[in-house]
Amino acid sequence: MKPLVVYYSYSGITRRLAEDIALITDGDLRELKPQKPYSFSYHTAIKEVRKEIERGYCPPLMERTESMGDSEVVFIGSPNWLKTFAPPVLSFLRTVDLSNKTIIPFCTHGGGGFGNMMEDYKRECKNSIIKDGIALKADYNFDELKNWLDSNL
């Protein structure tokens, strides 16, 4: 059964990683888009994001995400934003029933790896099976990713 590859990306790096994962695993890609995009200015975006994360805000998404299809395995990807996943990912986790599904987190980051993201997935998805994920920087290597997926799936 095809995995689902769900992701949010602000500046395109996590999108590239999601596309590579979908290519290697033959997965179905689904991008999470907030109805109100974050500012193009990095500094303004950081302020917006900090406020949302502090409040645990779930921004409304463009598309309905309730249906998971038949996928048992869901890759979920986000940039590391202030040590956690981006708020649109929280919106996804709170609207979709991921009980008994296997979640494989992935993220891209600027040096902080997953930060607290794995703990945050465990807190949000208590009834899911959460596997070790992969955290990569923008200059990751496709073969390294492929080897990781081959030995972890």
Ligand X SMILES: Cc1cc2nc3c(=O)[nH]c(=O)nc-3n(C[C@H](O)[C@H](O)[C@H](O)COP(=O)(O)O)c2cc1C
Binding site for ligand X (CB under 6 A): 9-15, 42, 45-46, 49, 79-83, 108-112, 115, 138
CB of 15 to ligand X, least distance (A): 6
Measured distance CA(38)–CA(45) in Å, rounded: 6
Q: Closest distance between ligand X and the C-beta of residue 129, in Å?
A: 25
| Count of C-beta atoms within a 10 Å radius of residue 125 | 19
43 vs 126, which CB is nearer to ligand X?
Answer: 43
Taking the least distance from each CB to ligand X, the nearer of 92 and 101 is 92
Least distance (Å) between residue 120 CB and ligand X: 13
Q: Which amino acid is at 109?
A: H
Please state, in angstroms and as integers, the Cα–Cα distance from residue 132 to each residue in 41, 70, 123, 148, following that order.
33, 22, 15, 11
| Cβ-based nearer residue to ligand X, 10 or 92 | 10
Nearest C-alpha neighbor of 6 from the set 81, 65, 58, 62:
65
Helices of type H across 1-153: 13-25, 42-55, 87-95, 117-124, 142-152
13 vs 74, beta carbon nearer ligand X: 13
User: Using an 8 Å Cβ cutoff, are 68 and 101 in contact?
Assistant: yes
CB of 56 to ligand X, least distance (A): 16
